[in-house]
């Protein structure tokens, strides 16, 4: 069976590439191991409630809408502004970050007067950072066209990106510790990003997105699709086949060229271009095989750092959050003022994010009910890999550990919702083990490799082979994953023209 393009993995990156390639009337095959496409972004239904496995917010919607319009799929999805964005609850107060950023800034200045000058400076720079980031939109170093690359270089060299330059390679802790005195303020600023010893960029981005009102959610209330559904629909309309419940176990390589794939049931499919949207380690070490890779390249891949996973407890509850005054803003709850504890693994004190999806979209919960999802970070190797067997098979101890973690987390958030247990009708818990098993991402990684130096590989070791998704364009979530699919499909189409 011969195809123009074969895409492995129906995550968002794979779906975008498939949609654009099939729109170009090419013979395309998408192969997905699960029963549904979407990868990290799937929604699942339980006892009348609906939950998302990952995404709660999306940014750079202008670009996403432009791509959807090119695919004639714009009306399939509906984005709404996510405002207010988040409410940070510390042991001493509450700080609401909304599109009215000045209000948030003023509150910080009033509370932390000793840090006033640097608060003003930091917010100014975050705003500029957002403007400079616009210049980078839509481009990836990996697949940048020569002219774009030159333009980027010129902008960088001629100092059109002073804030990006200033903070490039800086860790959040380097910047925050040197600029601010108050412990509580530092905690609040850290909570806008990932963890203190990672890049400062996510913190700057959060403030920049608030300034530019670049923060959205998707709603299906009016009968619309979510992103994977919309892309799948357009792909099928263009006559492209999606093979689900089919796992690719090998990329067939001949004379240093990718020529096809082999599936678990032994079926082989041949294609001119092979595109992988799946985990990079699986792609290179299982599907392509070390024998087809240069030694230097293998070392480079093995040295890369992986972006950590996440934990999510999903609850179906009968709280009336709207009546309680919640508008859907994410609560970032910092149960301790000790930084080590907030970013540590003691469940009583570690940071938790509370998401209220059904406040944004009533289709997520039955009438008089709501969903409440609690996100937090425990590592993939927590308690000896969550007490699974050596091959990560889940056993009784794993399920017992999950119950213990749920109870400890509920205890911790009872500061925010004191009678939480009396309101729960359904509980589910996704661990890093679940993410890995379901999506195939190494260690359940949320976003592929860590962003930063060496995060992006410019050259693939075999011909006619491409990668899309968050391992090809790491650290940026959905917009960058979508851009990766578009860039690769454009590149293939223009090369073959
Ligand atoms: C908990 C969590 C929260 C997140 N929150 C946000 C957020 O709020 N905003 C944001 O922008 N981003 C967020 N992200 C990141 C974003 O969801 C991901 O970066 C993005 O969805 C990844 O898409 P992808 O195309 O790289 O592939 P993936 O989603 O990783 O999908 C890969 C697909 O390949 C399939 N596959 C794997 N192996 C094989 C095989 N051998 N054969 C066939 N198929 C295979 C898998 O089943 C899967 O469907 C979050 C991620 C997580 C995990």
Give me the residue spans of the domains in the chain: 2-80+220-304+447-496, 93-214, 311-439
CB 10 within 8 A of CB 32: yes
Write down the pLDDT at residue 452.
56
Measured N-to-C along each axis, helices 61-70 and 12-23 cross at an angle, to the nearest 10 degrees, of 30
Cα distance between residue 133 and residue 208, in whole Å: 9
Q: For ligand 1, say whether the CB of 232 is within 6 Å of any of its atoms.
A: no
Distance from the alpha carbon of residue 12 to the mean position of ligand 1, in angstroms: 7
Task: For residue 186, give Cα distances in angstroms to 125, 171, 232, 355.
Answer: 17, 14, 43, 23
The single-letter DSSP state of residue 450 is P
> Tens digit of pLDDT for each residue in 134-158?
766 555 444 455 566 666 666 666 6
Tell which one of 6, 8, 9, 487 to mutate to probe ligand 1, the residue whose CB is within 8 A of the most ligand atoms: 9
Element at 428 (helix H, strand E): strand 424-430
Helix/strand/coil for 439:
helix
Write down the pLDDT at residue 152.
65
Nearest CA to ligand 1 atom 1: 54
Q: For ligand 1, say whether the CB of 12 is within 6 Å of any of its atoms.
A: yes
Q: Which of 45, 61, 132, 18 is CA-nearest to residue 477?
A: 61
Superfamily of domain 2-80+220-304+447-496: FAD/NAD(P)-binding domain (3.50.50.60)
Length of the chain: 497
Nearest CA to ligand 1 atom 15: 477
Distance from the alpha carbon of residue 363 to the mean position of ligand 1, in angstroms: 23
Distance from the alpha carbon of residue 471 to the mean position of ligand 1, in angstroms: 10
Q: For ligand 1, say whether the CB of 441 is within 6 Å of any of its atoms.
A: yes
Model pTM score? 0.93
Q: What is the phi/psi pair of residue 309, to 5°?
A: -90, -165
Write down the pLDDT at residue 454.
43
Q: For ligand 1, say whether the CB of 478 is within 6 Å of any of its atoms.
A: yes
Distance from the alpha carbon of residue 278 to the mean position of ligand 1, in angstroms: 8
Element at 205 (helix H, strand E): helix 201-211
Q: For ligand 1, say whether the CB of 32 is within 6 Å of any of its atoms.
A: yes
Helix/strand/coil for 227:
helix
Cα distance between residue 52 and residue 74, in whole Å: 21
Q: Which of 227, 228, 221 is CA-nearest to residue 36?
A: 228
| 479 CA closest ligand 1 atom index | 11
Write down the pLDDT at residue 401.
98
Q: For ligand 1, say whether the CB of 447 is within 6 Å of any of its atoms.
A: yes
Cα distance between residue 18 and residue 5, in whole Å: 8
Q: What is the phi/psi pair of residue 42, to 5°?
A: -125, 150
Distance from the alpha carbon of residue 248 to the mean position of ligand 1, in angstroms: 17
Nearest CA to ligand 1 atom 46: 439
Nearest CA to ligand 1 atom 26: 469
Q: For ligand 1, say whether the CB of 11 is within 6 Å of any of its atoms.
A: yes
Q: For ligand 1, say whether the CB of 432 is within 6 Å of any of its atoms.
A: no
| pLDDT less than 70: residues of the chain | 1, 135-159, 451-458, 474-475
| 438 CA closest ligand 1 atom index | 47
| 472 CA closest ligand 1 atom index | 26
Distance from the alpha carbon of residue 372 to the mean position of ligand 1, in angstroms: 22
First to last CA, the chain: 23
Q: For ligand 1, say whether the CB of 355 is within 6 Å of any of its atoms.
A: no
Cα distance between residue 33 and residue 19, in whole Å: 18
Write down the pLDDT at residue 449.
87
| 36 CA closest ligand 1 atom index | 49
Distance from the alpha carbon of residue 144 to the mean position of ligand 1, in angstroms: 23
Cα distance between residue 166 and residue 204, in whole Å: 12
Q: For ligand 1, say whether the CB of 31 is within 6 Å of any of its atoms.
A: yes
Pairing of strands 311-317, 424-430: antiparallel
> Tens digit of pLDDT for each residue in 179-210?
999 999 999 999 999 889 988 999 999 999 99
């Amino acid at each position: 069976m011969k195809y123009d393009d074969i895409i492995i993995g129906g995550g968002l990156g794979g779906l975008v590439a498939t949609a654009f390639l099939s729109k170009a009337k090419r013979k395309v095959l998408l192969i997905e191991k699960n029963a549904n496409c979407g990868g990290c972004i799937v929604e699942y239904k339980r006892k009348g409630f609906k939950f998302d496995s990952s995404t709660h917010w999306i940014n750079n919607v202008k670009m996403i809408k432009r791509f959807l319009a090119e695919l004639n799929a714009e009306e399939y999805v509906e984005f709404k502004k996510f405002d207010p964005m988040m409410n940070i609850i510390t042991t001493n107060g509450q700080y609401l970050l909304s599109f009215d950023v000045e209000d948030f800034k003023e509150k910080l200045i009033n509370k932390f007067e000793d840090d006033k000058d640097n608060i003003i400076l930091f917010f100014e720079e975050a705003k500029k950072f957002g403007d400079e980031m616009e210049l980078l939109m839509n481009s990836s170093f990996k697949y940048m066209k020569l002219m774009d690359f030159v333009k980027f270089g010129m902008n960088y060299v001629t100092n059109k990106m002073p804030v990006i330059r200033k903070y490039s390679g800086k860790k959040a802790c380097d910047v925050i510790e040197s600029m601010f005195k108050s412990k509580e303020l530092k905690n609040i600023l850290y909570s806008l990003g990932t963890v203190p010893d990672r890049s400062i960029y996510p913190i700057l981005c959060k403030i920049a997105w608030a300034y530019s009102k670049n923060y959205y959610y998707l709603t299906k209330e009016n009968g619309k699709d979510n992103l994977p559904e919309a892309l799948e629909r357009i792909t099928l309309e263009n006559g492209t086949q999606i093979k689900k419940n089919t796992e690719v176990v090998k990329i067939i390589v001949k004379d240093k060229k990718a020529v096809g794939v082999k599936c678990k049931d032994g079926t082989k499919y041949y294609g001119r271009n092979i595109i992988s949207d799946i985990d990079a380690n699986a792609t290179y070490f299982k599907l392509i095989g070390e024998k087809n890779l240069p030694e230097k390249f293998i070392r480079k891949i093995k040295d890369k750092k992986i972006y950590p996973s996440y934990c999510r407890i999903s609850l179906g509850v009968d709280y009336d959050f709207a009546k309680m005054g919640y508008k859907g803003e994410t609560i970032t709850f910092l149960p301790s003022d000790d930084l080590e504890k907030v970013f540590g693994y003691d469940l009583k004190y570690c940071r938790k994010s509370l998401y209220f999806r059904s406040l944004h979209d009533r289709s997520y919960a039955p009438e008089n009910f709501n969903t409440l999802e609690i996100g937090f970070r425990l590592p993939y190797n927590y308690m000896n890999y969550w007490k699974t067997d050596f091959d990560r098979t889940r056993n009784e101890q794993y399920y017992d550990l999950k119950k213990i973690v749920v109870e400890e987390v509920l205890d911790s958030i009872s500061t925010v919702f004191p009678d939480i247990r009396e309101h729960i009708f359904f509980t589910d818990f996704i661990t890093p083990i679940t993410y890995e098993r379901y999506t195939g991402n190494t260690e359940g990684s949320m976003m592929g490799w860590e962003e930063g130096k060496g995060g992006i590989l410019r050259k693939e070791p075999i011909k006619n082979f491409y990668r899309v998704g968050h391992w090809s364009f790491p650290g940026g979530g959905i917009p960058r994953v979508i851009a990766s699919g578009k860039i690769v499909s454009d590149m293939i189409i223009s090369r073959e023209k």
